[in-house]
């Protein structure tokens, strides 16, 4: 059974003190690695909106093309040929944003 008012709008929990809302706040290697993992998952699942958004996040954080391509290869290795369409979509978006 749900607790609380079922008609109440859902609200996001507040960010912890010192947390930044930007997904790659400092562009550090650890942050970039996590964001690349999100891209790998988006490509493997074939979610076009997720791929587009995550590619934008990575381009804005200055991710090198080689690292981006390596993440796409990991997705294809993990998900097989079905991930190739998502990888192609991601590369098109990357090229579009870096042109």
* pLDDT mean over 58-71: 94
CATH 1.20.1290.10 for domain 29-98, yes or no, is yes
Taking the alpha carbons of 51, 88, 67, 94 in that order, is the dihedral positive or negative?
negative
Q: Span 62-66, mean pLDDT? A: 93
Q: pLDDT tens across 23-60, in order?
A: 545 556 778 889 999 999 999 999 999 999 999 999 99
User: How big is the CA angle at 72 (ends 81 and 91), to the nearest 5 degrees?
Assistant: 100
Domain boundaries, the chain: 29-98
Give the pLDDT score at 71: 95
pLDDT band at 1 (very low <50, low <70, confident <90, very high): very low
Q: Name, in order, each residue with C-beta under 8 angstroms of 70's C-beta and a sequence gap of 6 or more.
A: 36
The values of phi and psi at residue 18, to 5°, are 85, -5
Residue 87 has pLDDT above 90, yes or no: yes
């Amino acid at each position: 059974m749900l607790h609380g008012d079922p008609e109440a709008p859902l609200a996001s929990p507040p960010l912890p003190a010192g947390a930044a809302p930007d997904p790659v706040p400092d562009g550090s290697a650890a942050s970039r690695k996590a964001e690349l993992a999100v891209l790998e998952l988006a490509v493997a699942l074939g979610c076009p909106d997720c791929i587009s958004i995550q590619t934008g996040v990575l381009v804005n954080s200055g991710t090198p093309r080689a690292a981006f391509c390596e993440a796409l290869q990991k997705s294809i290795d993990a998900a097989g040929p079905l991930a190739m369409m998502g990888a192609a979509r991601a590369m098109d978006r990357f090229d579009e944003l870096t042109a």
